[in-house]
Amino acid sequence: MKRNHFIQILLIIFTMATIQPLSAQEVIKDGIPYVTLNNGILMPRFGIGTYNVLGDSVACDAVLHALRQGYRHIDTAHAYRVERGVGKAVNDFIRESGTPREDIWITSKLWPTEYGEGVTMEAIDKMLDRLQTDHIDLLYLHQPMGDFRGAWRDMEKAVREGKVRALGISNFDASDSLFHAIVDSVEIMPAVMQIELHPYAQRLEWREKANRYGIQMECWFPLGGEMSNGLLLRDSVINAIAAAHGKTAAQIILRWHIQEGFSVIPGATRHDYIEENINIFDFTLSDEEMAQIRALNKEERIFRMDYEQAKQFMLNWKIED
């Protein structure tokens, strides 16, 4: 037991040394924590994801309900094929509530078939049209393949023209060389890096790399995703902590993400899940509970796909506008 306790302490020290700590000047707005990105812009660290949502009408309903519950960050992508539904939800909410567009953070992602100078700028204009907005708050390269360098140059132009506020890289943890192909050669540094990250895959190495460049970590599959079949939600340690707080396992996991300093975007379409996910700001995990969850790390990803196989598929799949 003494040896295990010593190992756990070392893990805690290493983890805390590699993550981006919460800023003493962090902004809390309507209960939601915001982070100042490396370009000086404030971004809500909690939002709703729209991956695997079945169509615009479902996306519109989910996002509109989320906005009514206090969500202010929506993550989508051209590949999800629900940008029109997201845009409609945002505009409907703005009309009914009077909330300024500037208070709602819209994130989207470009697909590899849209990469390349000239090509990417046209794709951004089409994305703005689908989302029914004059600017995108955060624009990602969705996958690290194809002419992503050319795409990035167009993305930088879009920032200078006011069409985009911040740039990010998604899934660039495929290799160290792909990550450095962006961060070591661009004019505008990525502000956010989005990867799979949850208690079973805490991605310590990638967190440390992102931290060197002041890049905020954002987590997809924070609860494991559908393909995990509830693996994280059944964890005995997480459920014991949940029982102690009178919360669900999902709420404990999401609270852990927030206290670790991440941005987290759990996907949901059911109204009760949307409400459950945001109900995490009325309690705090203790240092001991945080350590117990950190100790669950196995660096065990749930989404596994060979890069070369993914490359062949993604470079040949053209998404309809």
What was the pLDDT predicted at 156? Answer: 98
For residue 80, indicate whether it is catalytic: yes
Handedness of CA 125, 316, 183, 138 (dihedral sign): positive
What are 136-171's pLDDT values in tens digits? 999 999 999 999 999 999 999 999 999 999 999 999
Residues ≥6 apart with Cβ < 8 Å to 203: 173, 195, 196, 197, 217, 299
Confidence of residue 3 (pLDDT cuts 50, 70, 90): very low
- The whole-angstrom separation of Cα 98 and Cα 22 is 31
The active-site residue out of 34, 71, 80, 115 is: 80
What was the pLDDT predicted at 24? Answer: 41
What are 27-79's pLDDT values in tens digits? 999 999 999 999 999 999 999 999 999 999 999 999 999 999 999 999 999 99
What was the pLDDT predicted at 25? Answer: 55
Distances (CA, A) of 259 to 30, 140, 254, 287, 311: 17, 24, 9, 10, 35
What was the pLDDT predicted at 4? Answer: 46
What was the pLDDT predicted at 180? Answer: 97
pLDDT over 80 at 258, yes or no = yes
Hey, what are 134's tokens?
A: 């004059």
Indicate the pTM of the whole model. Answer: 0.91
Confidence of residue 11 (pLDDT cuts 50, 70, 90): very low
Q: Residue range 287-298: average pLDDT?
A: 98
